[in-house]
Homo-oligomer: A and B are copies of this chain.
Amino acid sequence: MMAVTDHSSANAGKIVISVDAMGGDKGPATVVAGISASAHKNPDIAFILHGPEEVLRPLVERRRGLRGRVDFCDAPDVVTMDDKPSHVMRHGKGTSMWSALESVREGKATVAVSCGNTGALMALSVIRLRKLPGVDRPAIAVLWPSSNPQGFNVMLDVGADIRADARDLLQYALMGASYARNGMDLKRPRVGLLNVGTEEHKGRPELKQAHELISRFAPRADFDFVGFVEGGDLPGNVVDVVVTDGFTGNVALKTGEGTANMIGAHLREAFKYSILSRFASLLALTSLRRLQKRIDPRRVNGGVFLGLNGTVVKSHGSADATGVSAAVKLAFQLAQSGFSEKLAARVASAAALAQDAEKNGGGPARDASDKGQATS
């Protein structure tokens, strides 16, 4: 049903991103416009595009910048936003989403990008790419605009799973730190655990337990553990990686986005109020654009699925071409840094550490430093 066609070799040496062209709210033309923008900016990128070839080929041929940089992988079916994950797991074989993951599974690309149904994409990713050895629950990480020097921090999990015990939270800390190192070029990320207060006695039992676990692992894992952080620290500069369960993370993410959207709407309304304020807003336009560029969620578009054999970037379902291009840029950056392999090595060495610690009856194994972990 699916076959890679038009496998031109002009893309040798380029980094190949596997892109699900279907399933976004705005259709494949928007996805093609997005990858075209990326191709324009980045000469080292190439694509495998998944979906009905008779639909996609004309869209691609209209873009001169994409000439010779796109391989097509024909997949006639589409996962819709209403499809239940369980249904897609059983019947999704002919879909562009399945096909996009297949390219990663087969090693033709190291990162896949999709704007489709998050639940279905996570379910398919788990059964097709499989979890990394040592990972119980994969997580979705997002970049959050903040006053950090890098302009963002990482938060995970934002909705892969609604539960997380202390060991899961430790794995999120390791995976998030690895993501920050490779996706944001931070040598020694600061990791915090989201709670309702920063005192150590506060919060749910699993959080106190996770606090202890992460404290013990941090010195061996090349990150700084700053302890508990609060919701107000998400856009701040005390932390680079915020660790939380998928329920809390999802509520926080949507609350932050909702608040930013509301303020944006009020801002537009405030400036429409009078002729003077309309004039002022014209003058203020560059300032406002500069602001928008900083807080625009489209520019940080891309939740990343962590803890699998391969990396999957989930773009917003409603992403426009700018949003798709931002997700592709992130995918490229992660592919180029060899993130998938580094994360796998990091998780494996943490699992070994944990085993040693258990054998030795608690506490990180003293001799673990002899193992010469790569910074990943």
Q: Which of B194, B274, B286, B291 contacts A251 (CB 8 A)?
A: B194
A252 — which chain B residues lie within 8 A by C-beta?
Answer: 231, 251-252, 255
A253 — which chain B residues lie within 8 A by C-beta?
Answer: 231
Query: Whole-angstrom distance from the CB of A240 to the nearest CB of chain B?
Result: 16
Give CA–CA (A248, B203) in the complex, Å: 11
A94 at the interface (CB under 8 A from B): no
Provide the A291-322 mask, 1 if CB < 8 A to any CB of B, else 0: 10011000000000000000000000000000
The answer to whether B255 touches A232, judged by C-beta atoms less than 8 angstroms apart, is yes
The answer to whether A295 touches B232, judged by C-beta atoms less than 8 angstroms apart, is no
Give CA–CA (A42, B180) in the complex, Å: 54
Query: Whole-angstrom distance from the CB of A290 to the nearest CB of chain B?
Result: 5
A270 at the interface (CB under 8 A from B): yes
A255 — which chain B residues lie within 8 A by C-beta?
Answer: 231-232, 234, 252, 255-256, 259
A258 — which chain B residues lie within 8 A by C-beta?
Answer: 231-236, 256
Stretch among A101-109, A261-269, A336-344 lining the B interface? A261-269
Give CA–CA (A159, B232) in the complex, Å: 14
The answer to whether A257 touches B277, judged by C-beta atoms less than 8 angstroms apart, is no
The answer to whether A247 touches B196, judged by C-beta atoms less than 8 angstroms apart, is yes
The answer to whether A266 touches B251, judged by C-beta atoms less than 8 angstroms apart, is no
The answer to whether A284 touches B273, judged by C-beta atoms less than 8 angstroms apart, is no
Residue in chain B with minimal CB distance to A271 = B287
A260 — which chain B residues lie within 8 A by C-beta?
Answer: 259, 263
A215 at the interface (CB under 8 A from B): no
A200 — which chain B residues lie within 8 A by C-beta?
Answer: none
Give CA–CA (A236, B259) in the complex, Å: 9
- A sample of 20 cross-chain residue pairs with beta-carbon separation below 8 angstroms, ordered by A number, consists of A147-B265, A163-B204, A196-B247, A230-B250, A230-B251, A233-B258, A235-B262, A236-B262, A248-B248, A252-B255, A255-B255, A255-B256, A259-B259, A270-B287, A270-B291, A271-B284, A274-B286, A277-B284, A277-B287, A281-B284
